[in-house]
Amino acid sequence: MKIAVFGKEFGDANIDFIRIFFNKLKKVGIRPMVFKEFHEFLTSKQIDVHDPLFFKTHIDLAENADCLFSIGGDGTFLNTLGLVRDSEIPVVGINTGRLGFLSSIPKEEVESAVDEILNGNYTIDKRSLLKLEASEEGLFGNISYALNELTIHKQDSSSMIITHVFLNDEFLNSYWSDGLIISTPTGSTAYSLSCGGPIMTPASGNFIINPVAPHNLNVRPVVIPDDTTITVKVESRHERFLVSLDSRSETIESSVELKIRKEDFKLSLIRLNNQDFLTTLRNKLMWGLDKRN
C-alpha cells in the first residue's frame, strides 16, 4: 500500500508519537509520501522520516497514493479536502488535537491502526459535501466545497445581517441574526451543534439550516433533504459579509447571490472495524458519565 502523510506544525508534546508513527511505517516496509511543507517542519524538529517521497499538489497525491494519513486535529483533516478532491483516495485521521470527531484514532493507537489498515480491517465511509455556487466567479478557487459547513457571517461586530433563504426557489425565511450555518451531517457535530443544531448520523442525507444568534427566538434549525438547492441573498447595512467553507473564508459583496447544493462527489473516510459513529459520539460527548446511565 502506498501511504501519503499530511500534517501541520505541532507542539513538542507530540514529537515522540510522530517518531513512533514513522518508525512503524519503516518497520512494515512502507516508504511514505509526505506533504513537502510538513516534512520541512519535521526536519526542523529532528524527526527522521526514513527516505520519504514528497507531494505538494492534489495531482501528486492522486497519482501516487492509496490512502492519506492526516496527522492532527479535525482542522487538519478538513485541510485534506483540497488535496484529495474527487480522487476518492480515503483519508484516515490520527488525532493529536482535542475533540477529534474526524480524526478519531487516538495517537496512542497509531501502531495498531497502521496494522489494521494494512490488513484491510477497515470500512470506507462516504461523506457528503456541500458545494457553493455564487454569482461572483472565482470564489474559493477550485475548492468551492466543504465537508462540515458553509457559514455566512457579518463582517464586523455591530449590526445584524438578514439572510433571505429559498429552497428550490421557494421562500423559506428571512433570518435576522449574526449569521447562518448550512451544515452537512458530518458538520452536525461541529459549529452547528454549538449553535443548538441537531446531531445527524453521517448517512442521513440531509442538510441543516441553522441561524447564528437569531434576533427572533422562535426561529429554530431546519433539517432539509440534501437534494435541495439552497439560495441565499444577504441584506446588510454594510457592503460586504464573510463566507466560510469549513476553515476557509472570503469576504464577499452583499450583492452576491449564493447557491448551495450537494457536491457531485463524496469524501472517502477510513473507519477501523472496531469503530462506529455512535460509539465515537458517546465517547466524544462523554455520554454515560452520569451515574444514572
Q: Answer whether residue 217 shows pLDDT above 80.
A: yes
Residue 179's pLDDT is 96
C-alpha 238: how far from chain center: 30
Q: Confidence class of residue 284 from pLDDT cuts 50, 70 and 90? A: confident
Average pLDDT over residues 216-235: 96
CATH number for domain 3-128+266-284, candidates 3.90.1560.10, 3.90.1300.10, 3.40.1010.10, 3.40.50.10330: 3.40.50.10330
3-128+266-284 against 131-262: fold identical = no
CA atoms within 13 A on the CB side of 219: 18
Average pLDDT over residues 101-107: 89
* Dist CA 130 CA 81 (whole Å): 12
Question: In the numeric block, which cell numbers belong to residue 59?
Answer: 495531482
* pLDDT at 97 (0 to 100): 80
Residue 21 confidence (pLDDT): 96
pLDDT of residue 137: 81
pLDDT tens digit sequence for 6-26: 999 999 999 999 999 999 999
Of 94, 93, 73, 97, residue with least CA distance to 20:
94
Q: Which of 12, 16, 51, 74 is catalytic?
A: 74
What confidence score (pLDDT) does residue 292 get? 64
Task: Please give the distance of CA 123 from its chain centroid, rounded to a whole number.
Answer: 19
pLDDT of 43-55, one tens digit each? 999 999 988 999 9
Helical H segments across 96-255, by residue range: 110-118, 191-194
Q: pTM of the prediction? A: 0.93
- What residue ranges do the domains of the chain occupy? 3-128+266-284, 131-262
Cell of 218: 422562535
Q: Name the CATH superfamily housing domain 131-262.
A: Probable inorganic polyphosphate/atp-NAD kinase; domain 2 (2.60.200.30)
Mean pLDDT over 179-183 rounds to 98
Q: Convert the pLDDT of each residue in 240-261 to its tens digit.
A: 899 999 989 999 998 899 999 9
Q: What is the pLDDT of residue 15?
A: 94
Is the four-CA dihedral 99, 11, 85, 268 of positive or negative sign? Answer: negative
Confidence label for 213 from pLDDT (cuts 50, 70 and 90): very high
* Kind plus residue range of the DSSP H or E element containing 171: strand 170-177
Contact 163, 232 (CB under 8 A): yes
Q: Clarify whether 74 is annotated catalytic.
A: yes
pLDDT digits (tens, 9 = 90+) for 232-243: 999 988 888 999
Residue 291 has pLDDT above 70, yes or no: no
Q: pLDDT value at position 100? A: 83
Residue 76 has what pLDDT? 95
> How is residue 203 written as a grid cell?
448517512
**Spatial distance between the Cα atoms of 252 and 119, rounded to a whole number of angstroms:** 47
Exposure of 251 by Cβ count < 10 A (0-12 exposed, 13-18 middle, 19+ buried)?
exposed
How high does pLDDT run on average in the chain?
Answer: 93
pLDDT of residue 238: 82
Residues 6+ apart with CB under 8 A from 279: none
- For 213, the 3-state DSSP assignment is coil
